[in-house]
């Protein structure tokens, strides 16, 4: 791995990453809490949705910016 130059990182991409991290992290944690509460189907659904959205957003960010 090389060094990362943050000077060339556009603010739109940075803010998009922050919002995706916060949003998906919250949904994933809610899913985790639902599993511990015994509502397994809802928890697995929330966690699955967050993982799918993460991979789709990763695909589109790498497709548009790189």
Residues 17-33 pLDDT 10s: 888 888 888 999 999 99
Q: What is the pLDDT of residue 38?
A: 93
Q: What is the pLDDT of residue 37?
A: 94
In this prediction, the residues of the chain whose per-residue pLDDT falls under 50 are: none
- Tell me if the pTM is above 0.75: no
Q: What is the pLDDT of residue 8?
A: 81
Give residues with Cβ within 8 angstroms of 50, minimum separation 6: 24, 27, 28, 31
Quote the CA–CA distance of 19 and 45 in Å, as a whole number.
Answer: 21
Q: What is the pLDDT of residue 54?
A: 86
Q: What is the pLDDT of residue 12?
A: 82
């Amino acid at each position: 791995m090389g060094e990362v130059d943050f000077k060339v990182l556009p603010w739109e991409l940075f803010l998009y990453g922050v919002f995706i991290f916060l949003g998906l992290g919250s949904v994933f944690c809610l899913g985790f809490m639902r599993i511990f509460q015994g509502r397994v189907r809802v928890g697995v659904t929330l966690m699955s949705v967050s993982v799918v959205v993460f991979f789709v957003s990763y695909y589109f960010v790498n497709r548009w910016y790189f």
